[in-house]
Amino acid sequence: MVRTLEDLRALTRSWRRCGEVIGVVPTMGALHEGHLSLARAARAECDRVIVTIFVNPRQFNSPEDLANYPRTELEDARKLAPIGVDAIYVPDGAQIYPEGFASTVSVTGLTDVLCGAHRPGHFDGVATVVAKLFTQTSAERAYFGRKDWQQLQVVRRMARDLDLDVDVIGCPTVREDNGLALSSRNQLLSEAGHETAPLLGQVMRDMAQALREGGTMAEIAPQARQRLLDGGFKEIEYLDLREASSLEAREQARGDTRLFAAAWLDGVRLIDNLAVSGEGAPV
Ligand code: AMP
C-alpha cells in the first residue's frame, strides 16, 4: 500500500531504471470481479502492476453520491492479494489535488452525449484524475473496462491528444450469471433492486437482436423503455444506439454500433453498453 506520491515515485523510478514495463489499473475501490479482471490482465502483460484506489470527488455530481460511495480498502487489498500486484496506490486528496490546484483536462465532443450530457463536469473530473494517475505512476499500459465505454473513449482521446505515452487497453465487461454488469454501485441496491437490475441487460440484448434483424430505434426504443419502467426502473436517462468510437447517434445497426443505457433503480444510477454490429466488435 503506497499512500504518497513521493513513495510511489521511489518505486517507479527504480522499476523504470531496470527497464520494467509498468501497468496501471485506475479504480475507485469497492473492488469486484470486473476490477480484478483488469488487474489480472495487467499482471499477465506488464512487469509491474499498480492498482490505484481513489474516490475522485471531481467526477461526482452530488455530495450524497460521493458520501455514499462504498469504501472498502482492507477488503480491496485482500481481494488483490492473490493476483500479486506490485503496489496499491491509495492517495489522499492532497496527493492528487494539492492546495492551489488549478488545472483541468477537458475532452470536448465525445463528452457532449450519453453520461456527459447528464453529468455535467463528470468527464472533466475523470480526464483530469486519469491524466494525473498516468503521470504519477509513469505507466506505459493502462487498463480500463468496456463497462464504461464512453470513459474508455474519452481516456483514449485524452492520451492521444496530450501525447501521453500510454497504451489504453479496454477489457470486457464482467457480468453476473443473470447478465447484470458488475458495478460498485450494485452494493447500494435493495434486495428487490437486485432482482430487478438484470432487466436492463435483458432489454438491451433484446433490442440488439431486433436491431440486428433490421429494426430501427424509432420502432424498438419506445417499447424497450416501457418494459424497463413497467419492470420497476424509475427513470431512463438514455437508451441510445451510437457509433462505437465517435459516439454519434445511429438509427440502425450499420458499421460498428453499440447500445448504451443509463437508468435509475432504487436511487442508484446503473449504466451498461453492448456491441450491436461491427466486424469483431468487442463485447
Ligand atoms: P470504477 O472503480 O467504477 O471507477 O471502475 C474502475 C475500472 O473498472 C474502470 O475502468 C471500469 O470500467 C472498470 N470496471 C467497472 N466495472 C466493470 C465490469 N463489470 N467489468 C469490467 N470492468 C469494469
The pLDDT tens digits along the chain (283 residues) read 999 999 999 999 999 999 999 999 999 999 999 999 999 999 999 999 999 999 999 999 999 999 999 999 999 999 999 999 999 999 999 999 999 999 999 999 999 999 999 999 999 999 999 999 999 999 999 999 999 999 999 999 999 999 999 999 999 999 999 999 999 999 999 999 999 999 999 999 999 999 999 999 999 999 999 999 999 999 999 999 999 999 999 999 999 999 999 999 999 999 999 999 998 777 8
Ligand 1 centroid – CA 186 distance (Å): 12
Residues 6+ apart with CB under 8 A from 185: 69, 268, 269, 270
Q: Which of 25, 38, 154 for a ligand 1 pocket mutation test, highest count of atoms within 8 Å of Cβ?
A: 38
Say if pTM beats, i.e. exceeds, 0.75: yes
- Residue 278 DSSP SS3: coil
- The rounded Cα 245 to chain-centroid distance in angstroms is 15
| Any ligand 1 atom below 6 A from CB of 56 | no
Beta-strand relationship, 235-243 and 257-265: antiparallel
User: What is the rounded distance in angstroms from the CA atom of residue 19 to the CA atom of residue 278?
Assistant: 38
Sign of the Cα torsion 112, 114, 117, 119 reads negative
